[in-house]
Structure 1
Amino acid sequence: MARELLLRGRTRTLRDIESNTTRKSSKWRDWTCVLLWSIVGYTCIILPVVAYSKPGLIPFYITLLLFHKESSPFFAFSHAKAHYSKPQGFEIVALVPFHHHERTAILDCYLQKNLIHNRGFLDRVVFVPQTEDAISMEWLYSIVNQTSAYDISSPGNEPEWKALKKNVMYIRIDGDTLFLEDNTIPTIVKTKLQNPESLIVSANVINEAALTSLHSHPGTALPYLPELYHVEQPPRSESQLKPGWRASNLPRWQGPSNFKVNKGFEPPYKGHRWLLSPNAKSGQDPIAASIYTDTGPTLQDWTVGAQQHYSFLHHLENNDLARYKFPIWVNPTESISENFGCFWGKDAAAVHHFSNETGRRSSSSRHESSDPSPHVIIDGKGLVSHYSAEQGAAGLDTTDLISRYRAYAQERVCSCELNNLG
């Protein structure tokens, strides 16, 4: 009996020890799980913040997991299940203010692609000459004579607004437009039809008017800096001499660590490039200097335009245009771009008046006045890149941007190569 009790006691003792060990081990695993989940949780919070504010610190493959660059949360019609066909019952006419043949020659590829006989939306294109340059006008007459859907209005700053037909939908496309997405025109047309109360629907024009700040966010505006010295290129074959548009073929920027693009920065030389800086500091590039320093240029300066254009071509190559996208913006507090907008002919006079008022006073003061605010929309789903004549006169013409946009159009848009316009 004593032996049996001893064995039972020993058995109970052994079970107690095993039970105690299990409880200790279980508590240790519980604390380990809490610690690991805490680390994971904090990482999930910190990583997106770092990826947004300092994208260069995050490895590329991690940012892809956070933000899949081919998937935009804001889809144009072309990503829907059914294709959006051209609406019937009315004409769609493009009004194109014409300034420089070198730039409009690039736009010509996009206009041709969007004509109705090429399965596009444009029934006609009417050019509005705003130059007296003989060479540019000779070029314009030559392309109009070659395309039956092209026409020229009488010279002047704008078409006769009262002469526009009421039941025609017009799209104002500035002649200095260098890029537009395939879906841009159909998307703003559809948005205009879905919002009949709107006066005008503007496209998502890169770095213009109300969108300047939005397109200047880190990760969208990249730290591109001007090439400071002309570098002699090694001898190349004729095929290699053709200008390219891909940012990946450019070298990295090199220069002094204290270099900054300040107010009044002069172009280094004619035909210079802008290069991506591997170690850009805050306030070094034009946009950062404009936002964070008192010595930087304004957001309307040619250097800011150059940085935005090279950043755009960078994202274009990487199929990363979703960075610029948003759904629609109704009645923005700042003015909208006048360089790409859709409106009905019956509203032409109101659109003309609205444009003049926008030029005379800020949008904020217009909202504060007793006058009713017109219903305007920016459609963020269709992108447009506009060269900007104001910035170009000061310095953009000294870069190689025109040749880069022309190279892209030749490769991806034009049915035949553009004429060599130098």
Structure 2
Amino acid sequence: MARELLIMGRTRNLRDVESNKEENSSTWRDWAFVLLWSVVGYTCIILTVLTYFNPGLIPFDVSSLLFRKEFSPFFAFSQGTGQYTKPQGFKIVALVPFHYHERTAILDCYLQQNLAQNHGFLDQVVFVPQTEDAISMEWLYSIVNQTPEYTIAPPGHDMEWQIARENVMYIRIDGDTVFLEDNAIPTIIKTKLENPNSLMVSANVVNEAALASLHSHPGVALPYLPELYHVEQPSRSKSQLKNDWRPSSLPHWQGPPSFKVTKGFKPPFEGHRWLLLNGASSDRDPIAASVYTDTGPTLDDWTVGAQQHYSFLHHLEDNDLGHYKFPMWVDPTERISKNFGCFWGNDAIAVRHIFNHHSNHTSSRYRSDGNRPHVIIDGKGLVSHYSARQGAAGLDTTDLVCRYRAYAQENVCRQTE
């Protein structure tokens, strides 16, 4: 009688040929399985290395799958969804209310990048002066004289709505806009054309109007606090510090454990920076204090704006702006930002009415075809607007303008001989 062994919970005859074949087959399957996963593993490693040196090879970051890096599925058209060429048959004009040359000098780099002659979408840029400052106006005339596509409209508030012409698509870009994502303009234009019943399509403007609460969520807004005294960095020269926009070059915040930003907080000194708190913020930073305490600032306070801007630069350096993205928000109940939006010249008066009355409600306004127009925020096109509501007592006492300028000079401004 043949010997029997108990293997894997069943008896098997060692002289049984079919049983032995089954064992051999199972062994080959195991080896094939190991080989398959080895190929998959090595392929992932190769793709990670290749995309590190050439991120454009695939439409998403492979390393984010391996290292849990955050990324957003809501990309602008050219990030994984193909190119979108400039639409033909009508002009695309940027209307730029002009206030301060220091900030518009940053915007100028982005406008130049988006001109049609530079493979962008803008056929013309019209500056609408809203200042009488001689130095700022002299600067404006100098850049207009250098760029044929630039022109200056008659000065005056709300003048940009009055000069709008029918069958022209306008992008209203406030002169204090200090960052445009590469595809912000094409993205909102594409959304506007795909939604012909929309009155206006706004970009995703950081910390503006209806988006202030959304951009204040933990993980988006990071625990930055104002430095209370000068922190020396002897290992870097003043020139390096001046031209470096990266928050990672800054030290961590130092100060009393009991310190928190309260309502009415005054700037510590001119040109101060905001530094990342090492650890959880609790209710110490402005945004947390505004949400969780009664003594904190409102979301319109300059301290909240400073924290938002430093958080944005932090995400920009880490290449994870996906924190801010969402697909599309139709008819938000709160007002939308008027600082970056796309509309037809035919609708200029209706758009101005919405902004002047601080309301998005268009229920009483119908087009000639009987359809009610919508107001849309496109969450895929990201923009940062510098808003110093408190003047010299607010954001102007930080170094944020210098940081945005340094980023633009490094990554956006066209180099001239």
TM over 0.5: yes
Distance 1:106 1:128 in 2: 17
Does the aligned pair in 1 maintain the 2:166–2:344 contact within 8 Å?
yes
Instruction: Report the equivalent of 2:50.
Output: none
Distance 1:241 1:253 in 2: 17
1:118 matches 2:118: yes
Instruction: Report the equivalent of 2:40.
Output: none
Q: Structure 2 counterpart of 1:273, which letter?
A: R
Instruction: Report the equivalent of 1:338.
Output: 338
> Structure 1 residue 294: deviation in Å?
0.3
Distance 1:199 1:67 in 2: 39
Q: Structure 2 counterpart of 1:106, which letter?
A: I
1:297 matches 2:297: yes
Does the aligned pair in 1 maintain the 2:242–2:402 contact within 8 Å?
no
Distance 1:92 1:307 in 2: 34
> Structure 1 residue 68: deviation in Å?
3.9
1:25-59 deviation per Cα after TM superposition (whole angstroms, max 9, x unaligned): xxxxxxxxxxxxxxxxxxxxxxxxxxxxxxxxxxx
Deviates more, 1:237-246 or 1:288-297: 237-246
Distance 2:198 2:90 in 1: 18
1:358-406 deviation per Cα after TM superposition (whole angstroms, max 9, x unaligned): 1xxx55xx58x87777510000001000001314543101101011000
Does the aligned pair in 1 maintain the 2:203–2:381 contact within 8 Å?
yes
Change (3 A) 1:141 1:181: same
Does the aligned pair in 1 maintain the 2:200–2:351 contact within 8 Å?
yes
Instruction: Report the equivalent of 1:157.
Output: 157
Instruction: Report the equivalent of 1:280.
Output: 280
Does the aligned pair in 2 maintain the 1:92–1:124 contact within 8 Å?
yes
Q: Structure 2 counterpart of 1:113, which letter?
A: Q
Change (3 A) 1:198 1:370: closer
TM-score (normalizing by structure 1): 0.79
> Structure 1 residue 280: deviation in Å?
3.5
Instruction: Report the equivalent of 1:402.
Output: 401
- Residue aligned with 1:288, SS: helix
Q: Which aligned segments of 4 or more residues in structure 1 are displaced greater than 6 angstroms?
A: 369-373
Instruction: Report the equivalent of 2:387.
Output: 388
Q: Structure 1 or 2: larger helix share?
A: 1
Aligned length: 357
Runs of 5+ unmatched residues, structure 2: 11-62, 367-371
Does the aligned pair in 2 maintain the 1:302–1:392 contact within 8 Å?
no
What are the equivalent positions in structure 2 for 1:185-200 lying under 5 Å apart? 185-200=185-200
Instruction: Report the equivalent of 2:259.
Output: 259
Distance 1:82 1:371 in 2: 36
Q: Structure 2 counterpart of 1:395, which letter?
A: G
Percent of aligned pairs with the same residue?
Answer: 73
> Structure 1 residue 331: deviation in Å?
0.2
1:101-137 deviation per Cα after TM superposition (whole angstroms, max 9, x unaligned): 0000000000000000000000000000000000000
Distance 1:229 1:246 in 2: 20
Instruction: Report the equivalent of 1:203.
Output: 203
Distance 2:100 2:244 in 1: 22
> Structure 1 residue 326: deviation in Å?
0.4
Instruction: Report the equivalent of 1:76.
Output: 76
What are the equivalent positions in structure 2 for 1:9-28 lying under 5 Å apart? none
TM-score (normalizing by structure 2): 0.80
Q: Structure 1 counterpart of 2:410, which letter?
A: E
Distance 2:129 2:83 in 1: 35
> Structure 1 residue 255: deviation in Å?
0.9
- Residue aligned with 2:346, SS: helix
Instruction: Report the equivalent of 2:357.
Output: 357
